Amino acid sequence: MSAHPTAQQPTPQAEGQVPDDAADRVQPGRRVRLAVDRPMRLDSGIEIGGFQIAYQTYGTLNADRSNAIMVCHALTGDHFVAETHPVTGKPGWWEMLVGPGKPVDTDRYFVICSNVLGGCLGSSGPKDTDPATGLPYGLSFPVVTIGDMVRAQKLLVEHLGIDKLFCVIGGSMGGMQVLQWAVAYPESVFAAVPIATAARHSAQNIAFHEVGRQAIMADPEWRGGSYLLEGTRPEAGLAVARMAAHITYLSEAALHRKFGRNLQDRKAITYGFDADFQVESYLRYQGAAFVERFDANSYLYITRAMDYFDLAADAGGSLANAFRPGGKTTPVRFCLASFSSDWLFPTSESRAIVHALNAVAANVSFVEIGTDKGHDAFLLDEPEFHQVIHGFLEGCAEHRGLSVRRRAR
């Protein structure tokens, strides 16, 4: 299951485990049904029970179950954090950061990552079959929030027998989940690392998401969300959505460095509408590759969850209040990181969170990493960023009393 020689600890609790059936082979990895006995109430008020969460773990949970790190993935990510992806064959999306000897050291920590509720990579979402009708949910799947995603993760963590996470870490939408964990379950989180994220989705970001959703919904193959039922695929619309979003993940400087105005194989412009420029060909490839692995309705649901995210609104309009549950400063230790060329989640967004944490005298460190790689930098080779994560976790481990325990290699 893992590309790394990490020991896989058996799940502490076995009830609710889904057998490795054919569906599992299509979407490999671990999975569990949660809220089977008692349904989970979503922010919308709708109750759902027996939903499936796909997850992976890396490393070994220690005897007092105090070394678990929850990794939260971004919009189109999944739970294959630190191993070759079983479907795409590509390296795990955060192998730079997570693995044996890496900043999030799986020789030392027990790492958990689950596909978000509403996703399409193993966890329950709009592409699944509604047991009530025997048909794909489509838009009848309930709209979920970042709060609901984290609620499901909390059930997973409890299912794994863990009362308190050593750390929750993630970038972009993953960072929103980190913030939500810290605010919703401050006693269940020792340390939190929200990266390249914001406490609320900005107007510009909502606007970009809306363009993507409109591109999907404009595709006649979308069929009002019922494309699975009707045997169509809104690939063109989803590809356009991905292309638009992809631009926002990079910086102008990175695009210039990577592509500039370089032409494709042809030496000269063609005076036509083929992909003359490399950047056009690259974008088209990104769009085409994405539709192979992602469900269009899930894209609608997850972007919507991000748009709805607003920690301050949920705390009576004050972000600082969100970090002072019951009038007491949050016990969670925070480390925030932003990237200088990230214009999707600019440093000012992280700073607003830091200011709110400072206002309640919380334990917080913050660094802006200088890079020209844009928002995607959190997924890339950024040594200073990796050092920051390593150092923060080392310090927290000491505070938490986690012994240095390296397995023989």
Burial bucket for residue 354 (CB in 10 Å: 0-12, 13-18, 19+)? middle
Q: Which is nearer to a copy of itself, 104 or 283 (CB)?
A: 283
Among residues 11, 62, 202, 340, the one that binds a copy of itself under rule CB under 8 A: 202
Angle between helices 296-308 and 235-249 (to 10 degrees): 40
Among residues 217, 229, 352, 359, the one that binds a copy of itself under rule CB under 8 A: 217
- 83 makes contact with a copy of itself (CB under 8 A): no
- DSSP 3-state assignment of 348? helix
- Check 107, 219, 342, 350 and give the catalytic one: 342
What phi and psi values does residue 23 have, to the nearest 5 degrees?
Answer: -60, -35
The gap from C-alpha 306 to its chain's centroid, in whole angstroms, comes to 11
For residue 90, the tally of other CB atoms under 10 A from its CB is 11
Written as six digits, the tokens of 178 are 């980190």
Nearest Cα to Cα of residue 123 among 84, 88, 161, 80: 80
340 vs 371: CA distance, rounded Å: 6
Nearest Cα to Cα of residue 160 among 35, 27, 14: 14
CA distances from 4 to 84, 92, 303, 393 (A): 9, 11, 32, 21
| Closest distance to a copy of itself from the beta carbon of 339 (Å) | 16
- 284 makes contact with a copy of itself (CB under 8 A): yes
- 231 makes contact with a copy of itself (CB under 8 A): no
Q: Which is nearer to a copy of itself, 266 or 399 (CB)?
A: 266
**Binding-site string for a copy of itself from residue 240 to residue 259, where x marks contact by CB under 8 A and - marks none:** x--xx--x--x-x--xx-xx
| Closest distance to a copy of itself from the beta carbon of 129 (Å) | 21
Among residues 236, 320, 354, 359, the one that binds a copy of itself under rule CB under 8 A: 236
Q: Which helix (H) or strand (E) holds 393?
A: helix 383-400
Q: Is 172 a catalytic residue?
A: yes
Given the rule CB under 8 A, which of 29-37, 277-285, 323-331, 392-400 is the region that contacts a copy of itself?
277-285
Among residues 5, 12, 101, 220, the one that binds a copy of itself under rule CB under 8 A: 220
- 201 makes contact with a copy of itself (CB under 8 A): yes
- Check 114, 172, 341, 350 and give the catalytic one: 172
C-beta separation of 259 from 279 below 8 A: yes
| Closest distance to a copy of itself from the beta carbon of 47 (Å) | 14
End-to-end CA distance of the chain: give it in Å, rounded. Answer: 18
Q: Which residues bind a copy of itself (CB under 8 A)?
A: 43-44, 139, 142-143, 200-204, 206-208, 210-211, 213-215, 217-220, 236-237, 239-240, 243-244, 247, 250, 252, 255-256, 258-261, 269, 271-273, 275-277, 279-280, 283-284, 287, 300, 304, 307-308, 310, 313, 343, 346
Residues of each annotated binding site for substrate: 242, 376
| Residue numbers annotated as active site | 172, 342, 375
